[in-house]
């Protein structure tokens, strides 16, 4: 199972603590490229880490920056900052050659509902540009659900952006905490666009990122979806927030989707 999943790790934690562990256990990383990494590490620092993984022929994915970014904002300065962060990520793509870059779709009804159409228009413009640019490097853009209450809120994104190398990253943990729609409905509505799945558990009260099987999420709809992915094209990423949560999560997956 280790050979079939990505393991999320912020770049700083990889640099300071976990690189040796990733090397020892041949873990494939989903590297968190956040503002801290972009502002405080040099190009040569990134190059060093990229070489380590490429020498080991490990599959790499990225999680892009998201804190306070808003691709659909009606404030042009906020969109400018958002785009500049994404441009910084683009500079690293040729180094790491990630299979995918995950970003947050970013819709929140409580914040953007009063200008939803404008939010969608601006978001489509931003993600189309980023998806096309990533596609030139052989990398896919995955947009992840977070605060969306249901799949219909972001369906238009994927209907419109499929041609621009953009797919859906399903996060069942986020649907359980923030969503108001059953996981089955997310898969029914957006299943054809799913290219990646983020896995972690919680008890529905907050986004805890627990080990799989230690919270209350029923992952069976995900496992049923994966049964039809005969070629294992869907990228699966584990998102533990501590090392102790990684190993039980791997055992959980080994038990429930041994054929994957």
Tens of pLDDT, residue by residue over 208-243, are 999 999 999 999 999 999 988 877 799 999 999 899
Q: Which CATH class is domain 2-256?
A: alpha beta
Q: What is the pLDDT of residue 230?
A: 72
The residue assigned the tokens 């299943």 is 191
Who wins on pLDDT, 171 or 227? Answer: 171
Q: Is the pLDDT confidence value at 3 over 90?
A: no
State if pTM tops 0.85: yes
Closest CA relative to residue 62, chosen from 144, 123, 119, 128 = 144
The residue assigned the tokens 């409580």 is 110
Tens of pLDDT, residue by residue over 121-165, are 999 999 999 999 999 999 999 999 999 999 999 999 999 999 999
Q: Is the pLDDT confidence value at 61 over 80?
A: yes
Closest CA relative to residue 108, chosen from 154, 77, 143, 74 = 154
Beta strands in the chain, from DSSP E residues, in sequence order: 6-10, 28-32, 61-63, 100-104, 140-144, 166-170, 194-199, 235-238
Q: What is the pLDDT of residue 228?
A: 84
The dihedral over CA atoms of 241, 90, 136, 102, expressed in degrees to the nearest 10, equals 20
Q: What is the pLDDT of residue 260?
A: 56
Show the CA angle centred on residue 9, arms to residues 235 and 42, nearest 5°.
Answer: 115
- Report the C-alpha gap between 172 and 184 in whole angstroms: 10
Q: What is the pLDDT of residue 25?
A: 95
Q: What is the pLDDT of residue 1?
A: 80
- Specify the 3-state DSSP secondary structure of 239: coil
Q: Is the pLDDT confidence value at 109 over 70?
A: yes
Tens of pLDDT, residue by residue over 24-38, are 999 999 999 999 999
* Cβ pair 61, 98 in contact under 8 A: yes
Name the helix (H) or strand (E) containing 32.
Answer: strand 28-32
Q: Is the pLDDT confidence value at 249 over 70?
A: yes
* Cβ pair 99, 60 in contact under 8 A: yes
pLDDT above 90: percentage of residues in the chain: 93
In this structure, the chain runs to a length of 260
| Range 233-259 average pLDDT | 91
Q: What is the pLDDT of residue 259?
A: 62
HSE, CB side, 13 Å, CA atoms: give it for residue 199.
28
- For the chain, domain boundaries: 2-256
Show the CA angle centred on residue 110, arms to residues 158 and 67, nearest 5°.
Answer: 70
Closest CA relative to residue 145, chosen from 201, 74, 196, 192 = 196
* Cβ pair 240, 10 in contact under 8 A: no
DSSP string covering 136-178: HTT-EEEEEPSS-SSGGGTHHHHHHHGGGTEEEEE-HHHHHHH
- Three-state DSSP string of 58-78: CCCEEECCCCCCCCCCCCHHH
| Range 192-196 average pLDDT | 97
Model confidence band, residue 258 (pLDDT cutoffs 50, 70, 90):
low
Model confidence band, residue 256 (pLDDT cutoffs 50, 70, 90):
confident
């Amino acid at each position: 199972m280790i050979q079939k999943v990505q393991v999320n790790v912020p770049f700083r934690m990889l640099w300071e603590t976990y690189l040796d562990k990733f090397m020892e256990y041949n873990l494939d990383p989903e590297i968190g490229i956040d503002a801290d990494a972009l502002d405080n590490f040099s190009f040569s620092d990134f190059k060093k880490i990229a070489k380590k993984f490429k020498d080991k022929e490990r599959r790499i994915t990225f999680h892009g920056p998201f804190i306070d970014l808003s691709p659909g904002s009606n404030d042009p300065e906020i969109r400018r900052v958002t785009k500049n962060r994404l441009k910084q990520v683009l500079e690293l793509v040729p180094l790491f050659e990630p299979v995918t870059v995950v970003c947050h779709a970013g819709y929140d009804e409580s914040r953007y509902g009063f200008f939803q159409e404008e939010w969608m228009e601006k978001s489509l413009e931003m993600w189309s540009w980023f998806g096309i640019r990533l596609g030139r490097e052989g990398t896919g853009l995955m947009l992840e659900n977070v605060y969306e209450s249901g799949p219909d809120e972001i369906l238009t994104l994927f209907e419109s952006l499929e041609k621009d190398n953009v797919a859906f990253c399903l996060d069942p943990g986020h649907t359980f905490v923030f969503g108001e729609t059953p996981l089955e409905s997310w898969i029914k509505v957006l299943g054809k666009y799913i290219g990646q799945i983020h896995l972690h558990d919680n008890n529905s009260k907050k986004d805890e990122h627990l080990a799989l099987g230690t919270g209350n999420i029923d992952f069976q709809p995900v496992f049923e979806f994966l049964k039809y992915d005969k070629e294992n094209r869907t990228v699966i990423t584990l998102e533990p927030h501590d090392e102790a949560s990684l190993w039980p999560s791997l055992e959980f997956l080994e038990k429930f989707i041994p054929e994957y």
